[in-house]
Amino acid sequence: MVQQSPVAGTIRKPVNPRVESYKNLWRRLRKNKAAVVGGLLILVFLVAGIIGPYLTTQDPNLPQISIKLQGPSAEHWFGTDNYGRDIFTRIIHGMGITMTVGFFSVALGGIIGVFLGIVSGYYGGKLDTVIMRIMDILLAFPGILLALAIVSVLGGSLTNLIIAVGVFSVPAFARIVRGSTLSVRRLEYIDAVKALGASDARIIFKHILPNVMSPIIVQLTLRIATAVLTASGLSFLGLGAPPPTPEWGAMLSEGRAYMQQAPHLVLFPGLMIVLFVLAFNIFGDGLRDALDPKMNK
């Protein structure tokens, strides 16, 4: 609707509430300097992971024994490993693998967890009890041990690693979404929509899901950091991507035997894992504060 300005002869443009809410979110988010730094780091990782492999000139898996265990230099920025492979090239190629595992595993866990959480919170009763008890059983296991057990059964591969990390992410999403759904379900407008004859599917996807998206988005961001850390740990134990895949956790595992002779073999992959996890954690914390109305009063 077009609104007329108090000044005669001028017309104010209509305000889109959704666009305005995004602008307000950005204004609140950019006040958090740590979150901005985290967001910039994530952007750098994304760009490097997507276009970086096309800019590197060396083969990440080609051994060159004659130059093995060389330190950082102008030719090899991060040095070479015990097979003479360029560590910088392997880290750049491994960035895409790390992001693939993190994003796809969290997406898998998020889809299943959100569905179970909404169904459990909306319908309640025995269905709620059964779903939540299953989630409690999964939560009783430490995440890394649960993922370790799944990978041990399925076998070590990148696909199985994504499945394992995704499964242990399900309970966190389910419990958060269930709590939010219980709150939204009690609102009066939900009763009004029911009275008008709306189906359960319409109520869930059109009225409940949009109102529980804030905690889902925050959980997705924070969970990526946990997923990458868990995936790197499993690869370090030899249960992730098979060699010679340049996965950061596997690179740490290969380099631990040369820590005293060539510490750069573990320094740079370990540093990348720390930066990646830190970036998503501080950005997720800032996003949580920006989306929480109680933090912005």
Per residue in 90-102, pLDDT tens?
Answer: 999 989 888 898 8
Instruction: Tell me the pLDDT of the chain averaged across its residues.
Output: 85
User: Given a cut of 90, is residue 20 above it in pLDDT?
Assistant: no
pLDDT, position 236: 86
Query: What is the tally of helices (H) and strands (E) in the chain?
Result: 11, 2
Q: How far apart are CA 81 and CA 265, in angstroms?
A: 6
Confidence of residue 103 (pLDDT cuts 50, 70, 90): very high
pLDDT, position 33: 86
Query: 197: alpha, beta or left, given left = phi > 0 and alpha = psi -120 to 50?
Result: left
pLDDT top residue among 146 and 117: 117
Average pLDDT on 236-258 reads 85
CA 226 to chain CA centroid, Å, is 8
User: Given a cut of 70, is residue 42 above it in pLDDT?
Assistant: yes
Average pLDDT on 65-88 reads 89
Confidence of residue 129 (pLDDT cuts 50, 70, 90): very high
pLDDT digits (tens, 9 = 90+) for 268-291: 999 999 999 999 999 988 888 777
Fold designation for 103-296 = MetI-like fold (1.10.3720)
Confidence of residue 191 (pLDDT cuts 50, 70, 90): confident
The torsion defined by the Cα of 187, 106, 281 and 177, in degrees rounded to 10, comes to 10
Token pair belonging to 276: 């990646």
Total residues found in the chain within this entry:
297
Closest to 29 (Cα-Cα) out of 15, 39, 42: 39
pLDDT top residue among 94 and 240: 94
Q: How far apart are CA 293 and CA 160, in angstroms?
A: 39
User: Given a cut of 60, is residue 217 above it in pLDDT?
Assistant: yes
User: Given a cut of 90, is residue 189 above it in pLDDT?
Assistant: no
Global pTM value: 0.83
